[in-house]
Amino acid sequence: MSKATITLLGVRIDKDDLYVKINVRGCDHALPDIEAFFCPICGKPILVEKVVPREGYEHGELFGFFVVTYFSYAYVGMLINRIEYGQLTGGYQFKHLPDLDALRGRLKEVLGDKYFEVVFGFHSLDVKDT
Ligand SMILES: [Zn+2]
């Protein structure tokens, strides 16, 4: 397990917004063409709700943006820095700012109504990798 402090430039959203609810079949039985809520063979619901990652969210990335979760929030944006616990910062670091309007625009495109300008900025947080 390693501990680190990461800084990203982006926004904070609710962790739940990384997921969507979809309806999937409750069993694998082939169904006759009838309207029913329960399978006539096994009695399970025809459709059950399942929570799945939203489109584009996979392995800590959302359409190429870095994503880290922290308690009930998710932070989405461009990874700026990662400092491992116990390591020095390297003495001096410099990074050019990215094109902020382009970054905002792309985040808005990806997050839609989950994007809030008021939380756009640098977010630093401690993470633990297991
Ligand atoms: Zn069934």
Task: Give the amino acid at 121.
Answer: G
**Strands across the sheet with 121-129, in order?**
57-58, 61-62, 65-70, 73-84, 2-14, 121-129
In this structure, the number of other CB atoms found within 10 A of the CB of residue 57 comes to: 20
Could you list which residues have their CB under 5 Å from ion ligand 1?
A: 27, 29, 39, 41-42
- Tens of pLDDT along 8-60? 999 999 999 999 999 999 999 988 777 889 998 999 999 999 999 999 999 89
Can you give the pLDDT at residue 93?
A: 82
Cα atoms in the Cβ-side hemisphere of radius 13 Å centred on 67: 25
- Tens of pLDDT along 52-61? 999 999 989 9
How far does the centroid of ligand 1 lie from the alpha carbon of residue 39, in Å?
Answer: 5
83 class by beta-carbon count within 10 Å (0-12 exposed, 13-18 middle, 19+ buried) = middle
The answer to whether the beta carbons of residues 11 and 76 sit under 8 Å apart is: yes
